[in-house]
Structure 1
Amino acid sequence: MTDKKFTGQVAIITGAGQGIGFEIARQLALEGASVILNDIHEALAINASTEIQKQGCICHAVAGDVSNVEFIQHLVDEAVDKFGKLTIIIANAGITTFGEFLDYQPESLKQVMDLNLYGTFFLTQKAAIQIKKQGLGGSMLLMSSVTGHQAHKNLAAYGMTKAGLEMLAKSLVVELSEYSITINTIAPGATLTERTLMDSEYLATWSRITPLGKPATVADIANAALFFVSPASRHITGQSLVVDGGWTATSPSPY
């Protein structure tokens, strides 16, 4: 007998070499899931997977670019080959490109669209085909952002993609519910990660303008993610949860 709520579940988490994705993968594995951990950087993927394995968990690294449909299919196939099925998808991989709208270049828009929208769309599609085939149902989670809810300077393209992901989740309720597949989104606000902490002013700035007095930790976001892919949310689908310490209620600019 085990009290781990994800025992017997098989999850793919993309963009999980560090930050939010890594913490989601770690928490899922600690709760009994068999995890396929993806990152575009092979060293990050292997190091992250090894760290999770050291905690007595099941985690397999698969490095590659999830804006490539052939690789996406390989990722799904790897989960099934390694663990026999696929039940959870967390589309965390994404890229942020900054730029003023009047100067924004086509190559930057293509880059952010390819990963954030195109890649997530086809990861969701390929995973849904597999989960439908199994007939056991499953859970999907797409990673949005507060910038999909509130305007943010120099992030028009990025915010557009994140709002698009929330509409994708709503639209897929119509197509996936009959297969007992739930699909939801999380919209994190300012979060302390390896990348954001490279900015020496980040913690102080976002602590000042966040109503709860501090930005989120990766654990805060992972806690919400695990809820959405757990049995506790089995009757919730097509929804988005903002995790931002209240920032979207007031939306002061960090600039």
Structure 2
Amino acid sequence: MTANNFKDQVAIVTGAGQGIGFEIAKQLSLAGACVLLNDLSEELTAQASDKINALGCNCYPLAGNAADLDFIQQMVDVAVRQFGKLTIAIANAGITLFGDFLDYPAESFQSVLNLNLQGSFFLAQRASRQIIQQKSGGSILFMSSVTGHQAHKHLAAYGMTKAGLEMLAKSLVVELSPYQITVNSVAPGATLTERTMEDAGYQDTWSRITPMGRPATVQDVANAVLFLVSPQANHITGQNIIVDGGWTAVSTSPY
């Protein structure tokens, strides 16, 4: 994205204290957007916002639970109060809880659904209401996963939610296109983040089984996201982009 490609745009990015979400928030900010940056952790939210603002950008931190309906509305209200409007909402916050299907606890199932589906659904709803009120048009983006396309051991609940988000993006085309709101999703494959790099063998394993010879970087995923919420993609809606170096084409198991 070129500098100032997002001038006069205002975005909410959830789950952006580190990893993919942070990179999305940073790249949007560097491209001219005003960004409300959210994470559950107050410390990560503040640190991430400080890093972006140190680059000369306009990023506002707001820590809180992106699955909570009242807090979702608060994010929209604060974005509008801080920046005057809202034009982009990126539902990046999500939780991965591994577990054998036969023993998977209801508590884990509910936690995954609450954040991955409820949080994403209602951020899209509340952001869309604001965008419609403004008559400005805008973009909604959901963060899916390759596990929404290919079976992955011990991720039945997680994969189900990610497939659901892609269907949600398609469904909302019918409801939001009349208001010039695009709705898309991005499905990352194996990606190098602070969390995944805690696994000593992660990079080597995914480099071996990914056709392009390496896992994704957070920049790879952010590039796809920024394209889909940019003016260059204003006639693309209801679509999903997989960013996995070709892994879903061969689906070699990491196990």
Kept in 1: contact 2:144–2:188 (CA 8 A)? yes
Percent identity, aligned pairs only? 67
Instruction: Tell me the CA shift for residue 133 of structure 1.
Output: 0.1
Show the 5 A alignment for 1:47-62.
47-62=47-62
Instruction: Tell me the equivalent position of 1:132.
Output: 132
Kept in 1: contact 2:37–2:62 (CA 8 A)? yes
> In structure 1, what is the Cα distance between the partners aligned to 2:68 and 2:55?
31
> In structure 1, what is the Cα distance between the partners aligned to 2:239 and 2:210?
23
Show the 5 A alignment for 1:182-221.
182-221=182-221
Instruction: Tell me the CA shift for residue 3 of structure 1.
Output: 4.9
Q: What stretches of structure 2 of length at least 5 have no aligned partner? A: none
Instruction: Tell me the equivalent position of 2:236.
Output: 236
Task: Calculate the aligned-residue CA RMSD, in Å.
Answer: 0.8
State TM-score, norm by structure 1. 0.99
Instruction: Tell me the CA shift for residue 142 of structure 1.
Output: 0.3
Kept in 1: contact 2:3–2:30 (CA 8 A)? no
User: CA, structure 1 residues 66+130, in 2 after alignment: closer, same or farther (shift >3 Å)?
Assistant: same
Instruction: Tell me the equivalent position of 1:153.
Output: 153
CA distances 1:160-195 after superposition (whole Å, capped 9, x unpaired) = 000000000000000000000000000000000000
CA distances 1:102-135 after superposition (whole Å, capped 9, x unpaired) = 1111000000000000111111100000000000
Instruction: Tell me the equivalent position of 1:224.
Output: 224
Show the 5 A alignment for 1:1-40.
3-40=3-40
Aligned residue for 2:98, secondary structure, equals coil
Instruction: Tell me the CA shift for residue 4 of structure 1.
Output: 1.1
Kept in 1: contact 2:145–2:159 (CA 8 A)? yes
> In structure 2, what is the Cα distance between the partners aligned to 1:79 and 1:157?
32
> In structure 2, what is the Cα distance between the partners aligned to 1:231 and 1:28?
13
Show the 5 A alignment for 1:103-142.
103-142=103-142
> In structure 2, what is the Cα distance between the partners aligned to 1:249 and 1:3?
34
Show the 5 A alignment for 1:156-195.
156-195=156-195
> In structure 2, what is the Cα distance between the partners aligned to 1:116 and 1:188?
15
**Number of residues of Structure 1 aligned to a counterpart in Structure 2:** 254
> In structure 1, what is the Cα distance between the partners aligned to 2:118 and 2:5?
32
> In structure 1, what is the Cα distance between the partners aligned to 2:203 and 2:66?
30
Instruction: Tell me the equivalent position of 1:83.
Output: 83
Q: What stretches of structure 1 of length at least 5 have no aligned partner? A: none
> In structure 2, what is the Cα distance between the partners aligned to 1:210 and 1:109?
29
Aligned residue for 1:192, secondary structure, equals coil
Q: Which amino acid aligns with 1:83?
A: F
List 4+ stretches of structure 1 deviating above 4 A.
none
